[in-house]
């Protein structure tokens, strides 16, 4: 049920992007009676539209507008036009996500304080802490109906998990289970997981939480939320008072419109959000909106990542069942005796044959490579999610030499590993291989990071305006009615998959916004 | 570059005959174009038949799977058999043949051992032509649904109700 708002209606909150951050924020505001126009560049796809086919799903749902890359990360060489694997659709990347839903560990809110001075890293403490976030995490876990919280059972372990668990236990790991997943382990508001595999292609059963078929329709049902799909925001505009007053977007036919706004919330994921701020530069804000600190686009983080695949002498059939329901948490602690600060999670992961061919060892050919694929049926796999260091030089900038379909400069994404990242990845590769060796792997593969699925930090939260882009509410330090509502707010990345935290922050921001609006301070 | 408008059908026999006419001992992988029903796959509309045969061998040498028969490799490179793509392919294959000749072979197809062909491919590995063929194969070969069962991959599972009752946790050897 759309609630059509006029373009000239300057009382609405405009939310840009409808993923984990924007989709949740839009619904939460609508539930509180706030009028919201959500502008989403992508189209609307629901479970009946999803396909159990890796490349077909990729072609339909991914963000494929041009981007460029630089830096020493291997993605810049192997996938130079595709720095990230994220979604352009109503619901954003929650369509593709696997559902792993973890809270930060308390010390991870205070990385600078905990890790001390790490040369070359632009570490900073979040202006919020675990205690403050606990109630918002409670709400997020309820909303996502996360397993192993609120009395929900864990998911059953699939074949890939059983190999992973046996190896982990043989190695002496203790915190091993089928994860905290935003996937129903029993029928409820969503139905129970049918173990189809293909969580990354959109869950056709609707067992996994996705904003596309939960928060978005719930918000629309209130009559307070209008989602305009295929509405690609080109820039945010401001008045002489320096406050933002609306956004200019291109509709499906490429026609431009300006939607007026009382408040603008940016949630386009960590490349598009800073790109929008930079592309909105004016004579009043020559370096882009909210960029007096010069931090817009900087400190790009993507989690350490990397995978370990292993071949056994007997079948595993890892693709059967939930894609990522399995975790080893023992290495997520901060323990500098391992040669690095911060920690990492190991999580089960499987790719289908088509994606395995593309990602196992990009660019490789010949028998070393194909003899691995020959054993596809006997493979098990896991993914490494570790805290990477924020670095000022890892950043999103505008590439004025390359324009998108609307003539706007595209994002260039520059990333190079910090020595801490390399040390941690090497450790994780070793431990991952040891897990599989412990149950008789005949061969293991330390697989390099894929195009980024976790994109963070490019509009970071800071206590002081000089250190970052937004304050503890996601409100930009420079412009009081401009907010950031996605993963780009992250001050540091922690070892955990980010979405539960993005959702918790969005619920908290909605609460704050509604309060400030009714107090007329916005 | 001559572009022929009439489709040319090529059978295994013709291929061998052509090669013989070219005065070379034509070495093909076992089961090359096995069976008459594979003839459809060997029709070339633009490429020289021998170019196509070399391209197929090249594809197999890049991603060698002994369990995968030639017809799948033919399908994987079929897209190059167009007027737009043909010139680059003819040139690329001519360079490959030149590299083989530099090593004392009559042509790429005349190189008997895979390791010698791989040595030749390593020489051209950085060329845009090689990279294009290799990159294209990643989807051209591995995204063929007909190839998946050979690797044990089961593909789509929603229509069968997922694996909840079909062995998502049926591993027994642990
Ligand atoms: C394969 C995969 C698996 C994942 N698994 C997990 C997991 O298990 N656990 C976890 O925590 N995280 C996971 N993630 C990451 C998770 O999906 C993201 O962290 C999360 O969705 C990010 O939320 P967001 O709001 O920042 O951006 P998104 O969800 O990406 O939403 C951004 C939206 O903004 C839109 N947009 C961008 N620019 C514009 C514009 N100019 N105008 C209009 N709209 C615009 C985009 O089209 C998009 O819909 C996974 C990601 C992938 C790709
Ligand atoms: S495995 Fe479960 S959560 Fe994943 S797509 Fe299938 S039903 Fe959905």
The pLDDT assigned to A371 comes to 98
User: What are the φ and ψ backbone dihedral angles of A283, each rounded to 5 degrees?
Assistant: -65, -30
With cut-offs at 50, 70 and 90, classify the pLDDT of residue A373. Answer: very high
Q: Is the CB of A183 under 6 A from ligand 2?
A: yes
The structural domain count of chain B equals 1
Are B87 and B49 in contact by the 8 Å Cβ rule? The answer is: no
**DSSP string across A85-130:** --B-BTTGGGGT---B--PPPGGGGGHHHHH---TT------SS-H
Is B50 inside any structural domain? yes
Of A2-11, A58-67, A158-167, minimum mean pLDDT range: A2-11
Is A177 inside any structural domain? yes
Q: What is the CATH number of the domain that holds A449?
A: 3.50.50.60
Of all protein residues, the one whose alpha carbon is nearest to atom 14 of ligand 1 is A97
- Is the confidence at residue A117, as pLDDT, over 70? yes
Percentage of chain A with pLDDT > 70? 99
Residue A152 structure tokens: 């929900």
Is B7 inside any structural domain? no
Q: What is the pTM of this model?
A: 0.94
Distance in Å, CA A115 to ligand 1 centroid: 29
- Whether B64 sits inside 8 A of A367 (CB atoms) is yes
Is B39 inside any structural domain? no
Strand partners, A412: A68, A397
Domain that holds residue B63: 46-145
Is B94 inside any structural domain? yes
Is B76 inside any structural domain? yes
pLDDT, tens digit, 9 for 90 and up, residues A380-398: 999 999 999 999 999 999 9
The gap between the terminal CA atoms of chain A, to the nearest Å, is 27
Burial (CB < 10 A; 0-12, 13-18, 19+), residue A44, is: middle
Mutate to test the pocket of ligand 1, among A16, A17, A497, A505 (most ligand atoms within 8 A of CB): A17
Residue A383 structure tokens: 């993914």
What is the CB neighbour count within 10 angstroms for residue B79? 11
Residue A197: its chain B contacts at CB < 8 A? 157, 162-163
pLDDT, tens digit, 9 for 90 and up, residues B63-75: 999 999 999 999 9
Is A359 inside any structural domain? yes
What DSSP designation does A464 have? Answer: S
**DSSP string across B86-100:** HHHHHHHHHHHHHHH
The structural domain count of chain A equals 1
- Is the confidence at residue B59, as pLDDT, over 60? yes
Residue of A nearest to B58 (CA): A366
Three-state DSSP at A425 gives: helix
Domain that holds residue A51: 13-519
pLDDT, tens digit, 9 for 90 and up, residues A295-322: 999 999 999 999 999 999 999 999 999 9
Is B150 inside any structural domain? no
Q: How far apart are CA B77 and CA B41, in angstroms?
A: 10
Q: Is the CB of A303 under 6 A from ligand 2?
A: no
What is the mean predicted confidence (pLDDT) over B148-154? 98
With cut-offs at 50, 70 and 90, classify the pLDDT of residue A515. Answer: very high
What DSSP designation does A192 have? Answer: P
Are A105 and A385 in contact by the 8 Å Cβ rule? The answer is: no
pLDDT, tens digit, 9 for 90 and up, residues A430-466: 999 999 999 999 999 999 999 999 999 999 999 999 9
Q: Are strands A409-414 and A482-484 parallel, antiparallel or unpaired?
A: unpaired
Q: For an interface test with A, which of B72, B157, B165, B166 has the most A Cβ atoms less than 10 Å from its Cβ? A: B157
Is A464 inside any structural domain? yes
Q: How far is CA B89 from CA A366, B96, B97, B112, B114, in A?
A: 21, 10, 12, 22, 21
Strands (E), A126-191: 176-177
Distance in Å, CA A351 to ligand 2 centroid: 14
Q: For an interface test with A, which of B58, B126, B168, B172 has the most A Cβ atoms less than 10 Å from its Cβ? A: B168
- Is the confidence at residue B32, as pLDDT, over 80? no
Q: How far is CA A268 from CA A15, A45, A232, A503, A505, in A?
A: 9, 18, 10, 14, 15
Is B73 inside any structural domain? yes
Is A85 inside any structural domain? yes
Q: How far is CA A237 from CA A263, A291, A296, A506, in A?
A: 11, 15, 17, 23
């Amino acid at each position: 049920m759309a609630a059509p708002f006029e373009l000239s209606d300057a009382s609405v909150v405009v939310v840009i992007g409808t993923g984990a951050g924007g989709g949740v924020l839009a619904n939460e505001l609508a539930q509180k009676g706030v009028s919201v126009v959500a502008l989403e560049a992508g189209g609307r796809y629901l479970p009946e539209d999803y396909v159990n086919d890796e490349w077909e799903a990729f072609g339909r749902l991914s963000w494929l507008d041009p981007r460029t890359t630089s830096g020493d990360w291997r993605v810049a060489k192997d996938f130079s036009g595709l720095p990230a694997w994220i979604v352009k659709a109503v619901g954003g990347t929650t369509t593709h996500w696997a559902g792993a839903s973890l809270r930060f560990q308390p010390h991870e809110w205070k990385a600078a304080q905990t890790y001390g001075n790490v040369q070359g890293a632009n570490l900073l403490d979040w202006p919020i802490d675990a205690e403050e976030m606990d109630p918002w995490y409670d709400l997020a876990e309820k909303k996502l109906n996360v397993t192993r919280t609120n009395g929900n059972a864990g998911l059953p372990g699939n074949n890939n998990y059983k190999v992973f668990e046996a190896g982990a236990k043989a190695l002496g790991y203790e915190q091993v289970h089928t994860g905290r997943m935003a996937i129903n382990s029993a029928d409820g508001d969503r139905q129970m997981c049918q173990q189809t595999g293909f969580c990354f292609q959109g869950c056709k059963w609707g067992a996994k939480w996705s904003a596309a078929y939960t928060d978005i329709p719930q918000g629309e049902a209130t009559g307070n939320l209008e989602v305009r799909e295929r509405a690609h925001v080109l820039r945010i505009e401001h008045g002489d008072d320096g406050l933002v007053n609306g956004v200019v977007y291109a509709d499906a036919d490429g026609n431009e419109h300006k939607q007026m706004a009382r408040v603008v919330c940016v949630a386009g994921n960590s490349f598009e959000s800073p790109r929008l701020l930079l592309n909105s530069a004016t004579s009043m804000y020559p370096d882009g909106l909210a960029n007096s600190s010069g931090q817009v686009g900087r400190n790009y983080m993507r989690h350490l990542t990397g995978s370990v695949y292993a071949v056994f002498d007997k079948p595993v059939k890892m693709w059967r069942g939930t894609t990522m329901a399995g975790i080893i948490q023992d290495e997520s602690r901060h323990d500098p005796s391992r040669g690095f600060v911060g920690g990492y999670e190991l999580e089960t992961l499987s790719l289908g044959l088509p994606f395995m061919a593309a990602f196992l060892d990009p660019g490789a050919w010949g028998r070393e490579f194909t003899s691995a694929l020959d054993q596809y049926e006997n493979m098990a796999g896991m993914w490494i999610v570790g805290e990477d260091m924020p670095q000022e030089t890892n950043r999103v900038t505008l590439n004025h030499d390359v324009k998108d379909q609307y003539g706007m400069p595209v994002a260039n994404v520059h990333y190079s590993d910090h020595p801490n990242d390399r040390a941690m990845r090497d450790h994780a590769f070793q431990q991952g291989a040891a897990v599989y060796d412990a149950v008789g792997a005949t061969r293991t593969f330390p697989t390099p990071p894929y195009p980024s699925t976790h994109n963070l930090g490019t509009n970071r939260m800071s206590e002081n305006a000089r250190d970052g882009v937004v304050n503890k509410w996601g409100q930009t330090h420079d412009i009081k009615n401009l907010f950031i509502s996605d993963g780009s707010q992250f001050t540091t990345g922690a070892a955990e998959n980010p979405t539960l935290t993005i959702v918790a922050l969005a619920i908290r921001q909605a609460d704050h916004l509604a309060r400030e609006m009714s107090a007329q301070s916005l | 570059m001559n572009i022929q408008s009439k489709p040319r059908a090529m059978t295994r026999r013709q291929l061998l005959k052509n090669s013989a006419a070219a005065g070379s001992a034509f070495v093909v992988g076992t089961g090359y174009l096995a069976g008459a029903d594979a003839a459809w796959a060997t029709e070339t509309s633009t490429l020289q038949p021998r170019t196509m045969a070399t391209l197929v061998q090249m594809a197999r040498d890049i991603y060698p799977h002994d369990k995968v028969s030639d017809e799948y490799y033919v399908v994987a490179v079929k897209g190059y058999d167009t007027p737009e793509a043909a010139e680059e392919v003819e040139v690329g294959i001519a360079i490959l043949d030149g590299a083989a000749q530099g090593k004392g072979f009559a042509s790429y197809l005349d190189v008997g051992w895979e390791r010698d062909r791989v040595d030749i491919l390593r020489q051209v590995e950085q060329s845009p032509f090689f990279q294009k063929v290799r990159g294209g194969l990643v989807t051209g070969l591995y995204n063929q649904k007909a190839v998946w069962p050979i690797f044990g991959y089961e593909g789509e599972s929603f229509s069968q109700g997922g694996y909840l009752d079909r062995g998502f946790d049926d591993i027994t050897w642990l």
